[in-house]
C-alpha cells in the first residue's frame, strides 16, 4: 500500500504493504475480503479496504 516515487516503483508494483487491518482469531471468520485500492493515486500510499460480515 506504499510505493516509493523513485524508479517507477508504483507502475512496477514494487512497494511495501505497510497498512493493515488487525483482527482477533475469533473475529477472523467475519472477514470476507481485504484489498488494496491500487487505482487511487495522488500519494505514495493508497487506501486499503475490508469487507466484514456483520
The answer to the question of residue 1 being in a domain is no
What pLDDT, in 10s, does the model give residues 24-37?
A: 999 999 999 999 99
> Strands 48-52 and 31-36: what pairing?
antiparallel
The answer to the question of residue 35 being in a domain is yes
The overall pTM is greater than 0.85: no
The answer to the question of residue 40 being in a domain is yes
Phi, psi of 26 (to 5 degrees): -70, -25
What pLDDT, in 10s, does the model give residues 2-14?
A: 999 888 899 999 9
What value does the mean pLDDT of the chain take?
94
The boundaries of the domain holding residue 40 are: 6-52
The structural domain count of the chain equals 1
Amino acid at each position: 500500500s506504499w510505493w516509493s516515487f523513485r524508479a517507477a516503483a508504483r507502475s512496477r508494483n514494487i512497494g511495501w504493504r505497510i497498512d493493515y487491518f488487525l483482527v482477533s482469531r475469533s473475529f477472523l471468520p467475519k472477514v470476507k475480503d481485504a484489498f488494496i485500492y491500487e487505482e487511487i493515486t495522488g500519494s505514495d500510499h493508497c487506501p486499503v479496504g475490508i469487507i466484514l460480515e456483520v
